[in-house]
Amino acid sequence: MQRIPDLDDALQDLSEVVGRRLVLLDEAMRVVGYSIHESDRDRRRLAHLLTHSDSWSVPRTFTQADIIEARPGLGRCLFVRLTERSHRIVGHLLMVLGDDEVPEDVRERLLGKAPELGDLLALRNAHAERDHRRARELTVDLVTGDPDSRAAAAEGLLGERVLSDSGRYCAVALGVDPRSTSSRDAEKSALAVSVTTSFVAQSSTASVVGAALPDGLGVLVFPRPVVVPRLTRLLQGPEVIGVRAGIGPLGAIEDVQHSFARARLAWRATCFAPQDHPIVLEWDRAGLDATLARLPLELLKTDDLPPAVRRLLDHGLGIDLLDTLDRYLGSGGDAQQTARMLNIHRSTLYYRLDKVREAIDEDLRDGVLRRELHTGIRMAQLAGLGPWAMDPRPGT
């Protein structure tokens, strides 16, 4: 991606002229440039800025070209407004004052250089937005395009050094519950992508790309294994609450489409069974639910379930009986273990199983029947059918 060096050079030149350490902040109060900071005190101040400036309020320079405001950990700071040619504010030039006053000649030089710095910052922003747009387009092609488009996208992402050439890549699918009908669903997915890529860009020199797909789902591509606890923390932020993620397996960049397909299934699994899976679910840990997620669970009806499961639901068996059967089948038909898991006496367990046998009129010792019941009950849970229609979250 193209770099615009003139802004950094102009900032350093100005710093040398005024004899002060200077920092550039963008519209979001993020540090986007700084002059050489030589002394220990200057470096400490810079470290504080890099860590905290994006949490500051924007200085009140709407009606004046500069202002002195106090900031935690730094004291008094001079903020000089930077605008582009249309007079839109694109950022600020910052000089830490502490207990010092601003010499008038220094202030005049800063104000005199502000228009040039504003134009250069606007130009950098335009190039950055162009680069981001290009990266998003390549990411979409990488996971959804035809073979030729995917190959070209991989070549572009690596050749333009948007992604590091690690040899191992994995995709992440992000989105809200696919059964939701909110008009803001796509916005949340896109915001989750932005939150993650921004965090990586601001906290490291690592690379990651992301985009929002036409169907509203978000996608991230990492050139390394995803740190699940870190992504989980990001998705617990209030602005992206409700967004869940699936992580696909690692592979060559040419196989990212397959990684994303599995990430999508893991995402669906954690959305349909939020009580059984974490917010961020890896494909390898999704088990049978990821396979069942290939089904159009949003559209399944009771008639789509295996016959034995339909008979159970037609008899109106309660959630306790069905849960007992599910636990019994999950324990391999071990009555003692099932009773212990449910904290009931074995005679109570046998009574409940007799009720099930009466409903289906078949022998629970039949292996094929057990497989059909166990899988079918899970399908009903995920699809929110029968008694799970009242609360479509499995495990509740």
Predicted pLDDT at 1: 42
Start-to-end CA span in the chain (Å): 49
376: left (phi over 0), alpha (psi -120 to 50) or beta: alpha
What CA–CA distance (Å, rounded) separates 222 from 164?
A: 9
Predicted pLDDT at 391: 52
- pTM of the entire predicted model: 0.75
Predicted pLDDT at 201: 82
User: For tokens 């050139």, what's the residue?
Assistant: 223
Predicted pLDDT at 390: 55
For 259, the token pair is 């990684």
Structurally, at CATH architecture level, domain 298-389 sits in: Orthogonal Bundle (1.10)
Class of the CATH-defined domain 6-128: alpha beta
Considering the chain, tell me which residue range(s) the CATH 3.30.70 domain(s) occupy: 163-292
What CA–CA distance (Å, rounded) separates 180 from 198?
A: 26
Coarse DSSP helix, strand, coil percentages of the chain, rounded to the nearest 5 percent: 55, 15, 35
Predicted pLDDT at 205: 78
What CA–CA distance (Å, rounded) separates 54 from 265?
A: 35
Domain 163-292 belongs to what topology?
A: Alpha-Beta Plaits (3.30.70)
State the pairing for strand pair 280-282/31-34: unpaired
Considering the chain, tell me which residue range(s) the CATH 1.10.10.2840 domain(s) occupy: 298-389
Q: Which residues of the chain have pLDDT under 50?
A: 1-5, 392-396
What CA–CA distance (Å, rounded) separates 143 from 217?
A: 12
Predicted pLDDT at 363: 87
Considering the chain, tell me which residue range(s) the CATH 3.30.450.40 domain(s) occupy: 6-128
Nearest to 110 by CA among 23, 229, 205, 234: 23
For 144, the token pair is 């959804």
The type of residue at 60 is R
The backbone torsions φ and ψ at residue 57, rounded to the nearest 5 degrees and listed phi first, read -75, 155
For 171, the token pair is 């995709």
Radius of gyration in angstroms for the set of CA atoms belonging to the chain, rounded to a whole number: 29
